[in-house]
Amino acid sequence: MSQDMVIQIFRDVIKITLLLMGPALLVSIVVGLVISIFQAATQIHEMTLVFVPKILAIALSLMILFPWMLNLTVTYTTNLLANIPNYVR
């Protein structure tokens, strides 16, 4: 296995990881920002007010995006396993 193949595999892993976790992180950031603005406007500074909406929003986004995420993961794994003969040369 050449150094270029290792770098390409590592690059693909990082790309897939960012694609899989990006939507959940963005949803978490947006919900946190909206709740922070709400807390600042109403001066309600309850710490538990942040957690429940974030958990619900992330769970909803994962349920909606799960088929796409699963397809992306299966495609990457299939390609990786199919190319094993190329990697051991």
Q: Can you give the pLDDT at residue 88?
A: 82
What SS3 class is residue 83?
coil
Residue 50: predicted pLDDT: 84
- Is-above-0.85 flag for pTM? no
What are φ and ψ of residue 37, in 5° steps? -65, -45
Domain parsing of the chain, residue ranges? 3-83
pLDDT in tens, 20-39: 999 999 999 999 999 989 98
Mean pLDDT of the chain: 91
Whole-number Å distance between alpha carbons of 5 and 63: 34
Q: pLDDT, tens digit, for every residue of 37-55?
A: 998 898 888 878 888 999 9
pLDDT for the residue numbered 89: 72
User: Which residues, including other chains, have CB under 8 Å from residue 46's CB and lie 6 or more apart?
Assistant: 39
14 CA to centre of own chain: 11
pLDDT for the residue numbered 74: 97
